[in-house]
Amino acid sequence: MTTNEPMTAYVAAFVDELARANVRNVVISPGSRSTPLAMVLAEHPDIKIWLNIDERSAGFFALGMAKAKKEVVALLCTSGTAAANYFPAVVEAKLSRVPLLVLTADRPHELRDVGAPQAIDQIRLYGNYPKWFVEMALPEDSCEMIKYVRTVAERAVSTAIAGPSGPVHLNFPFREPLIPNLSACHSIWDKGRENGERYVNVSYSLKWMHDRELYAVGSQLQKKKRGLIICGPDDNPALAKAVVRLADELNYPILADPLSQLRSGQHSKELIIDGYDAFLRNEEVVNSLQPEVIIRFGAMPISKSLLLYIKRYPKCQQIIIDEDNGWRDPTLMASNMIYTEPVHFCNNLVNYLSSCSNRIQAQKTNWLKKWLMLNQITRDIVLKNGRTDNLFEGQVFIELTELLPPNATLYVGNSMPIRDLDTFFRNNDCSFRVLANRGANGIDGVVSSALGASTAVSPLVLVIGDLSFFHDLNGLLAAKLYGLNITIIVFNNDGGGIFSFLPQAKNEKYFEDLFGTPTGLDFRHVVEMYCGRFIKVNSWELFRNEVKNSINSKGLTVIEVPTERKSNMDMHRKIWQAVLDKLSLKMVEVNNL
């Protein structure tokens, strides 16, 4: 067998540097042109490889893994449309700030744009989505090119991680022969920097706001009694405590998105509002809650009623904290965009505020009491009315809060599940971590993302709608091949449940064809093909037992919760109406606060 020695030296140096840069996992899809990287990656003792045949699923599998582990995961595929299949995951990684390192093999220059097989134009294949794109040099074994390839490896990993994290794409042209000399790799791995040091250490500094500017913000806030803190999707474990301290100091309520990680955890929940999505649907309530200032952390929350509430008060000062220089303000009403590290920002602000002579009263303001009362009323109604003998999608999240062990991770599908999570997943003292693909909010790739996450955390429960489950059925192969442990709860209302809530639903002529889109699929077949357990539950008792069983079992379990789109919508409307009715009765009391 002819091996390619210069290529081996180049590729082995690259892989060595990835390992030194703490890349521990690579998701590989089979192909010929990618052979040099695939074989050397497989040979490296510190790198684990995961085979995933469908590159679209592979992309999301890597995304979920990177998200859960908070570290760079690499992807490798061959040339051609294989690489194009990564595109949805690359887009999601960019928008949700997940560090992915995409490695694509390519034909060398002389075989490009000349009708050679599996040769497509891979230069900037993903457009502006990658944070960095490099068309790699052809493999050479010169001293200069080994420096080059080690440097690129380190830059690629550190660029993917640096805030905002995101995808980096390296395109590798390879000439035949494609077989590396694996026996030569180990000596090459000894040739890097001594003591396993990285070839180049890249350091980024934290962004800390200048004291003078911070104090200016603090002075403004001190004057504003009617303030709000809004925490959107975020996964910084240190944020909860810092924000709670800030809220406490300012006497502001915290509106916590279900993906903010603030509804669960050991921190105080006293000021955390988890029912706003329901009560901000009431116009009387919205009118009575005129804010003077809003401080936002994280991405924009899921709740549409919250969005409309913010837009109702265009004169309100809106301060957005974003460590990563984004512009996450679809209201277009931000008055202050502050690019700074949020935990440090909160802590420093609290220190400043608490040291001021005109320190804010520790006593709860009426403004705060009002929010807390509205939330308590809503919480009671939703918990009471959200429970029914029939299977109901929203109730699943009420049940899960009680059923899951405190260290569980919940992965939640887009469209309806994430919205039900918002309404029905309430404050709790567990340590649940809640993840979702909220960069582009796609229903694609969610199964694979959750499976990728399941390699890092356990137990993991995915709640997903039937169309989204269908979209990524291929993802289930990873569960079979790697014996991954996951519980998938599928809301099966046979179609696109969310559309029943939209004006499109009123068009009877085309609604089912264009939006309802029932598939009539019995997922038992496909789950059994992937050697999973499939249970279609017909009662809450069975649901509870099966969730508990599954969490204590190995492998793939799919629990189908059969529901009906129309009655599901009716049930939601009934609950929101019950909240509104109750609030109408209580508004005098609330407003008298």
Binders of a second copy in range 323-382 (CB under 8 A): 326-330, 332
User: CB of residue 49 vs a second copy: minimum separation in angstroms?
Assistant: 7
* 238 touches a second copy (CB under 8 A): no
Look at residue 51 and give its three-state secondary structure.
Answer: strand
Which residue's structure tokens are 């077949």?
525
Which residue's structure tokens are 């229903």?
443
What is the footprint of a second copy within residues 283-302 (CB under 8 A)?
Answer: 299-300
Query: Cβ(284)–Cβ(370) under 8 Å?
Result: no
* 520 touches a second copy (CB under 8 A): yes
User: CB of residue 37 vs a second copy: minimum separation in angstroms?
Assistant: 10
Sheet arrangement for strand 25-28: 48-51, 25-28, 73-77, 100-106, 167-173, 132-135
User: CB of residue 525 vs a second copy: minimum separation in angstroms?
Assistant: 4
What is the footprint of a second copy within residues 105-134 (CB under 8 A)?
Answer: 110-111, 113-121, 124-125, 127-129
As a whole number of angstroms, the distance between CA 73 and CA 103 comes to 11
Q: Which is nearer to a second copy, 202 or 531 (CB)?
A: 531
As a whole number of angstroms, the distance between CA 147 and CA 391 comes to 61
Q: Which is nearer to a second copy, 128 or 363 (CB)?
A: 128
Q: Is 59 exposed, middle or buried (0-12, 13-18, 19+ CB in 10 A)?
A: buried
DSSP 164: S
Angle at 458 between CA 457 and CA 459, to 5 degrees: 140
Q: Which is nearer to a second copy, 16 or 54 (CB)?
A: 54
Q: Which stretch binds a second copy (CB under 8 A): 164-172, 456-464, 472-480, 545-553?
A: 472-480
Q: Which of 5, 24, 51, 286 is in the footprint of a second copy by CB under 8 A? A: 51
Q: Which is nearer to a second copy, 120 or 578 (CB)?
A: 120
* 519 touches a second copy (CB under 8 A): yes
Q: Which stretch binds a second copy (CB under 8 A): 209-217, 353-361, 405-413, 525-533?
A: 525-533
As a whole number of angstroms, the distance between CA 495 and CA 292 comes to 42
As a whole number of angstroms, the distance between CA 277 and CA 307 comes to 10
Q: Which of 530, 540, 543, 576 is in the footprint of a second copy by CB under 8 A? A: 530
Q: Which stretch binds a second copy (CB under 8 A): 133-141, 351-359, 370-378, 513-521?
A: 513-521
Which residue's structure tokens are 């908070």?
70
Residue window 55-84: x/- pattern of binding to a second copy, with contact defined by CB under 8 A: xx-----------------------xxx-x
As a whole number of angstroms, the distance between CA 263 and CA 274 comes to 7
Q: Which residues pair with 25 in a beta bridge?
A: 48
Look up residue 556 and give its two tokens. Answer: 């793939």
What is the footprint of a second copy within residues 166-205 (CB under 8 A)?
Answer: 177-179, 182
Q: Which of 44, 245, 471, 565 is in the footprint of a second copy by CB under 8 A? A: 471
Q: Which is nearer to a second copy, 29 or 158 (CB)?
A: 29
User: How many residues contact a second copy, by CB under 8 A?
Assistant: 92
Cα distances (angstroms) measured from residue 506 to each of 281, 503, 576: 21, 6, 20
User: CB of residue 570 vs a second copy: minimum separation in angstroms?
Assistant: 19
SS3 of 550-593: the string is: HHCCCCEEEEEEECCHHHHHHHHHHHHHHHHHHHHHHHHHHHCC
* 308 touches a second copy (CB under 8 A): no
* 508 touches a second copy (CB under 8 A): no
User: CB of residue 33 vs a second copy: minimum separation in angstroms?
Assistant: 11
Which residue's structure tokens are 């502006």?
128
Query: Cβ(547)–Cβ(403) under 8 Å?
Result: yes
What is the footprint of a second copy within residues 426-455 (CB under 8 A)?
Answer: 440-442, 444-445
What is the footprint of a second copy within residues 263-282 (CB under 8 A)?
Answer: none
* 485 touches a second copy (CB under 8 A): no
As a whole number of angstroms, the distance between CA 6 and CA 142 comes to 8
β pairing state of 227-231 and 132-135: unpaired
User: CB of residue 397 vs a second copy: minimum separation in angstroms?
Assistant: 20
* 526 touches a second copy (CB under 8 A): yes
Q: Which is nearer to a second copy, 138 or 179 (CB)?
A: 179
Angle, helix 540-551 to helix 393-403, in steps of 10 degrees: 50
Look up residue 175 and give its two tokens. Answer: 């000439």
User: CB of residue 29 vs a second copy: minimum separation in angstroms?
Assistant: 9
Q: Which of 342, 394, 496, 497 is in the footprint of a second copy by CB under 8 A? A: 496
Q: Which residues pair with 106 in a beta bridge?
A: 173
* 506 touches a second copy (CB under 8 A): yes
Looking from the CA of 1 toward its CB, the CA atoms found within 13 Å total 7
What is the footprint of a second copy within residues 405-424 (CB under 8 A)?
Answer: none
Look up residue 209 and give its two tokens. Answer: 């706001």
User: CB of residue 272 vs a second copy: minimum separation in angstroms?
Assistant: 22
What is the footprint of a second copy within residues 10-29 (CB under 8 A)?
Answer: 28
Q: Which is nearer to a second copy, 182 or 373 (CB)?
A: 182
Angle at 205 between CA 202 and CA 210, to 5 degrees: 165
Concatenated DSSP letters of 393-441: HHHHHHHHHHHS-TT-EEEE-TTHHHHHHHHH----SS--EEE--TTT-
Q: Which stretch binds a second copy (CB under 8 A): 67-75, 145-153, 423-431, 500-508?
A: 500-508
Q: Which is nearer to a second copy, 64 or 445 (CB)?
A: 445
* 542 touches a second copy (CB under 8 A): no
User: CB of residue 21 vs a second copy: minimum separation in angstroms?
Assistant: 22
Looking from the CA of 481 toward its CB, the CA atoms found within 13 Å total 13
* 53 touches a second copy (CB under 8 A): yes
Q: Which is nearer to a second copy, 170 or 320 (CB)?
A: 320
